[in-house]
Structure 1
Amino acid sequence: MASTENKKSLLQKIIAIVLAFGPGIFAIGYTIGTGSVTSMIVAGSKFNMQLLWVLLLSCTFSGILMFAYGNYALITGETALYGFKKHLKFGKILAILIIVGITFGQWNSLMGILGISSNIIFEILALNFETLATYKYETVLITAVIIIVTFYLLMLVGKYTFFEKILVIFVTLMGLSFLLSLFFVQPLPVDVIKGLIPTIPDIPGGKMLVAAFVGTTMASATFLSRPLFVKGKGWTIKNLDQQKKDSITAAILIFVISGVIMAVAAGALFYEGKAVTQVLDMANTLEPVAGKWAVTIFFFGALSAGLSSIFPCLLIAPLLIADYQSGTLDTNSKQFRIITAIACLVALIGPAFGANPIEIQILSQVFNVFVLPIVILGIILMLSNKKVMKEYKTSIGVYIGMYAALFFSLVISYNGILALTEYF
């Protein structure tokens, strides 16, 4: 009896630890979606571990910016865009630019996410029902409609804690699937070390992937939405230490999960000289080594990544508008329902036109880069405003981190412009 009680209490403890994970789970949901999975796999298959340094820098800066935005919310009781509008000279214009830029990037991303998730489900079905192969377009489109309608209906009944619990499940499944995949294939340790030395691959598409990498791991939406999620969690100024730990944990987990995905692709595809251009190529990452089981495990991870991103992407526009208006999100409002319905319709554009979801996904991540410098500059100005922050002082280390992040984002934005001019 005692042993079953011990087992039960241990299981309960593990579940409690996972569920106690705070707003950082939304950071992982925003950051590691199919966009991130696609970028990591394409990079691993084309360039081995060469872009690991970009991932490390992006995750470090992400942790600092999540911490900065979270602290701002706990100290002032305000959300970010509302604060920009209220306290900065050109804050209103800045806030509107940010809303438009991030919504454009996230809705584009949603199109790719839905396309990839529907394609993954189609490939799983096609493995078991071969006759479906001739109806690929119809199956993918019907699947996309079912997924997006289901998520829309869930959005209408959900509250913060409900979204958080669903995300915890998806993110845990995703992390475990990719870690399991790593047991089948590993890159060479020397390539991992080389990947930490800054270099940009000097081949067509190299600049594009670097920009997509930063667009997906240093996502502006992650930082801007943090004050709302911190408030949704019910945290106050007493939770400053908890907020700090949550930011650090989220940044570390984003680096570990993303790095594992890149390593799986490098180990399975780069050494074989294979590149990823279609959704099925992503699953073939593991098939030569571990057969159909590996494909299923991998697809499960990629699907969890996609589904964990749909909620945050649908939430982003109403979140930012609510933030701009008053700093609170009402999921029961008419405004919320209309905006999320528009997002759902936009998401279906990719599958409806039969577009290649991998290309859409990488392009959408590149667009995310251009809003980043404004988002970083905004929080630097807010934290250095004595009237707003009163007696609270931000440490020099955090300032150095934020200015370094600003410089990094400007370099990557310039790189993104070059990448887009090469592409078009």
Structure 2
Amino acid sequence: MAEKRTLFKKLVALVLAFGPGIFAIGYTIGTGSVTSMIVAGSTYGMQLLWVLLLSCFFSGILIHVYGNFTLITGETALFAFKKHLKWGKVMAILVIMGIALGQWNSLMGIMGISANIIYEIFAIYFPQISENKYEIVIVIAVSVTSILYALLLVGKYSFFEKILVIFVTIMGFSFLISLCMVYPLPVDVVRGLVPSIPEVPGGKMLVAAFVGTTMAAATFLSRPLFVKGKGWTVNNLKEQKKDAILAAILVFVISAAIMAVATGALFYDGKPVTQVLDMVNTLEPVAGKFALTLFFFGTLSAGLSSIFPILLIVPILIADFQSGELDTSSKQFKRITAFACLFALIVPIFGSNPVEMQILSQIFNVFVLPLVIIGILLLINNKKLMKGNKTGTWINIGLIAALFFSLIISYNGVLALTNYF
């Protein structure tokens, strides 16, 4: 018994030892990511695994570089853009506008999916509520939003971090255990690492959505603020690097697990997902109620883990632009997060398809990505600003490759949106 308690304590200590990387996981693996992975896995199998791998690799580099920049210079991203780059002020404003558009659009879909999932959990035990589904979904959405806003008013970095640790841990274990019950053929996993784009309507859109959710500009730009919030200094460069690598690896592993479960349970039976509960109704006969329940809680935790940081992102980016400091107790912070909470209720109230909204919103995220990469490339190669800390050749090569990749995906996103509208 004592050994079991010791093991449990070690596991809890390991989970709580997460650094600011937990925010990177929270931003990246939300309901938008889960939705994109499920739609991809159920429709194309493991064909887009290569996109996920590349996105996570470049994300790891960008998380690491943005964190290092702050530890060495003491400055945050958008404030440094404005202060040190010729067109930096314009770049910073465009980035804030682009991220606000992408993240708040995503927020609507996330709230729609999360409210529907909570409703379905209640409906399993209380079937009679099905007659008032619309009203109940709205009540759930308002209740969830109110609770999360109340948590935001606590206004402390350490508290935000603990909340996210809980959500992300439940999510990760839920999807990984589900993978043990439903999985794809190994040969399909290997084929998925060979670059190819599905030559069907919606294929280009899903590729852009993949990159939009796994290479989210919000993740990199918020990194400096959360690194400062953690209290790290230039003496924590090694911890910062390990935290960035761990975040990128976990994003890949959890996202790939979601795609793999959808492939094993849905793709082989020819059951693509187009609505929120398609994934539920088709998973149950294949995976059983236990796996279905796990997937339910995983998806719900993903939603809650992403709603929380998305509500934070716009006010902290504006604060970054203004002063380079994170102040979660200001009136500005409370007003903007309150507006974001109201914005989140649009999909539940108007009854739009949250799955489609999620995929569309992820595409908008890719358009600011090239600016975010160009900005940090210029900053980290400014010798005076970096105080003699030379940026390695491989880091520069990695960032240039990430820029090239982001430009291709942005062009792909333009084509996808043109075809859609």
User: What TM-score do the two structures reach when normalised by structure 1?
Assistant: 0.98
Write the distance in 2 (CA, Å) between the matches of 1:87 and 1:387: 11
Report what 1:15 is aligned to. 12
Task: Work out whether 1:34 is the aligned partner of 2:31.
Answer: yes
- 1:259 aligned partner: 256
Deviations 1:8-66 (A, max 9, x none): 33322221111111000000000000000000000000000000000000000000000
SS in structure 1 of the partner of residue 195 of structure 2: coil
Counterpart for residue 224 of structure 1: 221
CA offsets 1:90-138 (integer angstroms, 9 cap, x no match): 1111111111110111111111110000000111111211121121111
Which residue of the other structure, out of 43, 52, 57, is the alignment partner of 2:54?
57
Two-structure CA RMSD over aligned residues (Å): 0.9
Q: Matches of 1:373 and 1:409 in 2, distance apart?
A: 6
- CA shift, 1:387, in A, is 2.0
**CA displacement at 1:158 relative to structure 2:** 3.3
The answer to whether structure 1 residue 243 and structure 2 residue 240 are counterparts is yes
Aligned residue among 154, 157, 166 for 1:169: 166
**What residue is the counterpart of 1:160 in the other structure?**
157
| Structure 1 position 338 matched with structure 2 position 316 | no
Q: Which amino acid aligns with 2:252?
A: F
Kept in 2: contact 1:185–1:286 (CA 8 A) = no
Contact 1:113 1:310 in 2 (8 A): yes
Deviation string 1:229-252 (CA, Å, 9 cap, x unpaired) is: 000000000000110010000000
Is the CA contact 1:52–1:195 (under 8 Å) kept in the aligned structure 2?
A: yes
Partner of 2:65: 68
Q: Residue type matched to 2:188 in 1?
A: D
Given the alignment of the two structures, is residue 377 of structure 1 paired with residue 391 of structure 2, yes or no? no
Question: Which residue in 1 is equivalent to 2:131?
Answer: 134
Among all aligned residue pairs of Structure 1 and Structure 2, give the percentage whose two residues are the same amino acid: 72
Contact 1:82 1:323 in 2 (8 A): yes
Partner of 2:113: 116
Residue segments in structure 2 that go unaligned for 5+ positions in a row: none
Show the counterpart of 1:315.
Answer: 312
Contact between 2:182 and 2:287, CA under 8 Å: does it hold in 1?
Answer: no
Matched to 1:32, the amino acid is I
Alignment counterpart, residue 412 of structure 1, candidates 398, 405, 409? 409
Q: How many residues align?
A: 421
User: What amino acid is the match of 2:29?
Assistant: I
Q: 1:386 is paired with a residue of what secondary structure?
A: coil
C-alpha distance in structure 2 between counterparts of 1:318 and 1:349, whole Å: 20
Equivalent residue letter for 2:285:
P
The question of whether the paired residues in 2 share the 8 Å contact of 1:318 and 1:340 is answered with yes
The answer for unaligned runs of 5 or more in structure 1 is none
Query: Hey, what's the Cα distance between the residues in 2 that align with 1:68 and 1:184?
Result: 38
Matched, 1:274 2:280: no
- SS class of match (1:286): helix
| C-alpha contact 1:184 1:286 (8 A) present in aligned 2 | no
Q: What is the identity, as a one-letter code, of the residue corresponding to 2:391?
A: T
- What's the offset of the Cα at 1:177? 0.6
Match of 2:203 among 195, 201, 206: 206
Deviation at 1:285, TM superposition (A): 4.5
CA distance in 1, matches of 2:364, 2:306: 17
CA contact (8 A) 2:63 2:220 kept: yes
Q: Does residue 360 of structure 2 align to residue 363 of structure 1? A: yes
Shift of 1:146: 0.3
- Tell me how far 1:289 sits from its aligned partner: 2.1
Q: Contact 1:115/1:144 (CA < 8 Å) preserved in 2?
A: yes
CA distance in 2, matches of 1:293, 1:252: 27
* Distance in structure 1 (CA, Å) of the matches to 2:386 and 2:155: 33
Matches of 2:377 and 2:227, distance apart in 1 = 19
SS at match of 1:204: coil
Q: Distance in 1 between matches of 2:364 and 2:354?
A: 15
Task: Quote the Cα distance in structure 1 between the aligned partners of 2:238 and 2:290.
Answer: 43
Distance 1:8 1:45 in 2: 40
1:191 and 2:188 matched: yes
| Paired residue secondary structure (1:279) | coil
1:88-107 to structure 2, matched below 5 A, reads 88-107=85-104
SS at match of 1:388: coil
Structure 2: distance between partners of 1:346 and 1:227: 26
- Paired letter, 1:93: V
Cα offset, 1:185, TM superposition:
1.1
Q: Is the 8 A contact 1:181 1:286 kept in 2?
A: no
Q: Distance in 2 between matches of 1:308 and 1:368?
A: 18
The one-letter code of the counterpart of 2:299 is A
Q: Which amino acid aligns with 2:330?
A: S
- For 1:398 and 1:423, the matched residues in 2 are separated by 36
Cα distance change of structure 1 residues 12 and 293 upon mapping to structure 2, 3 Å threshold:
closer
Q: How far does residue 290 in structure 1 lie from its aligned partner after superposition? A: 3.0
1:399 match: 396
- Could you tell me which amino acid in structure 1 is paired with residue 178 of structure 2? S
User: Are 1:264 and 1:285, in contact at CA under 8 Å, matched by a contact in 2?
Assistant: no
Q: Distance in 2 between matches of 1:323 and 1:10?
A: 41
Task: Tell me, in whole angstroms, the C-alpha distance in 2 between the residues paired with 1:384 and 1:261.
Answer: 38
Specify the code of the residue in structure 2 equivalent to 1:31: T
Equivalent position amino acid for 1:84 in 2: F
Match of 2:351 in 1: 354
Match of residue 234 from structure 1: 231
Q: Output one character per residue of 1:193-229: Cα deviation in whole Å (capped at 9) or x when no partner.
A: 0000000000000000000000000000000000000
CA shift for structure 1 position 187? 0.5
Look up the SS of the partner of 1:163 in the other structure. Answer: helix
Task: Return the alpha-carbon distance in structure 1 between the equivalents of residues 273 and 214 of structure 2.
Answer: 20
Q: Which TM-score applies when normalising by structure 2? A: 0.99
Letter in 1 for 2:134: Y
